Amino acid sequence: MGTKPDAPHFPRRNRIISGLALGTVIVESLEDGGAMITATTSLDQNREVFAVPGSVFEKRSSGPHKLIREGQATLINSVEDIVDELQVKLRPILKRDRVQRPLPPLTLFEQTVHGLLGDDPMHIDAISDRARMSTPDTLVSLLSLEFKGLVKQLPGKMFLRM
């Protein structure tokens, strides 16, 4: 306390902060700016990185644009975008308070696929194998379950129950 800001300390401080957070939002930064260092440390710590797109004519938007372009950050327009993405990571915390809601009507195939899924992400190939269904049939059931709000697809064709 009482120590004046010292630029050489910022990367270490930001690494600690990003390690404590579930995600980091990058609003403006040059491609070699300090926020990009924080984004890199967040990715190194397996944390979510979010980026707000800006004007293509603004130099300070080049960092967020690079993160989005390279698939390192999720493009966000509002806080709801962040909540939707982090909902999966918050599930273990929120699970104890989750109220069981009745399932909508499901086909036999949807019931089979839904019954295989849990809180841990599962790859489409594993789901297909365990359900003894073809991959296309499994994907159709998963898409239908996703429309019904019962399943969430994650990157890499991973799925989990909502």
Q: Judge if 83 and 122 occupy the same domain.
A: no
Write out the chain's pLDDT in tens, 162 residues.
787 888 888 888 889 999 999 899 999 999 999 899 999 999 999 899 999 999 999 999 999 999 999 999 999 999 888 888 887 777 666 655 555 668 889 999 999 999 999 888 899 999 999 999 999 999 999 999 999 989 988 888 999 888
pLDDT at 81: 87
pLDDT at 94: 62
Q: Judge if 79 and 123 occupy the same domain.
A: no
- Residue type for 136, please? P
Q: Judge if 70 and 142 occupy the same domain.
A: no
pLDDT at 100: 63
Q: What pTM did the predictor assign? A: 0.58
In a domain, 22, yes or no: yes
pLDDT at 106: 93
- Residue 73: what are its φ and ψ, rounded to 5°? -135, 150
Q: Which long-range contacts (CB under 8 A, 24 or more apart) does 115-119 make?
A: 117/151, 117/159, 117/160, 117/161, 118/160, 118/161, 119/91, 119/92, 119/95, 119/160, 119/161
**Token reading at 55:** 């004007």
In a domain, 1, yes or no: no
**Count, residues in the chain:** 162
In a domain, 3, yes or no: no
Q: Judge if 88 and 53 occupy the same domain.
A: yes
In which domain, by residue range, is 133 found? Answer: 99-161
The rounded distance, in Å, linking the Cα atoms of 36 and 44 is 12
